[in-house]
Amino acid sequence: MSHSGAPAVAAGGWAPVHGVHDALARRRARPHGRLYAIIRWTGAAIFAAVFLALLVTLFHQAAAALAHMGLSILWKGWNPAANEYGAGVFIVGTLLTTLVALVIAVPVGLGTAALLSELAPRWIAAPLTVLVEFLAAIPSIVVGLWGLIVLTPLFANHVEPFLKQVPVLGALFHGPPLGASILLAGVVLAIMILPTIVALSRVALSGVAVADREAGLALGATRWQVVRTAVFPGARRGIRASITLAMGRALGEAIAVAMVIGNNTAIPHSLLAPGATLGSAIVNSFSEANPGTLEKSGVVALVVVLLAISVIVNAGGQLLLRARKPAAPPRGPVDAPIGAVPGGTPPGGAALGAST
Report the C-alpha gap between 303 and 263 in whole angstroms.
17
Question: Which residue from 202, 197, 159 is spatially nearest to 180, judged by alpha carbons?
Answer: 159
With a threshold of 0.85, does the pTM exceed it? no
Of 39, 231, 209, 221, the residue nearest 118 (C-alpha)? 231
The residue among 278, 273, 296, 262 whose CA lies nearest residue 175 is 273
Phi, psi of 355, rounded to the nearest 5 degrees: -85, 150
Q: What is the pLDDT of residue 129?
A: 87
**Mean pLDDT estimate for the chain:** 81
Q: What is the pLDDT of residue 111?
A: 92
In this prediction, residue 324 carries a pLDDT of 54
Question: Residue 14: its pLDDT value, please?
Answer: 47
Which pLDDT score, from 0 to 100, does residue 349 have? Answer: 43
pLDDT in tens, 105-127: 999 999 999 999 888 888 888 88
Residue 336 is predicted with a pLDDT of 43
Question: What is the per-residue pLDDT across 147-167, written as a single tens digit (0 to 9) for each?
Answer: 999 999 999 999 988 988 888
The fraction of the chain above a pLDDT of 70, given in percent, is: 81
Q: How far apart are CA 159 and CA 325, in angstroms?
A: 44
d(CA 173, CA 273): 8
The list of the chain residues with pLDDT below 50 reads 1-15, 325-356
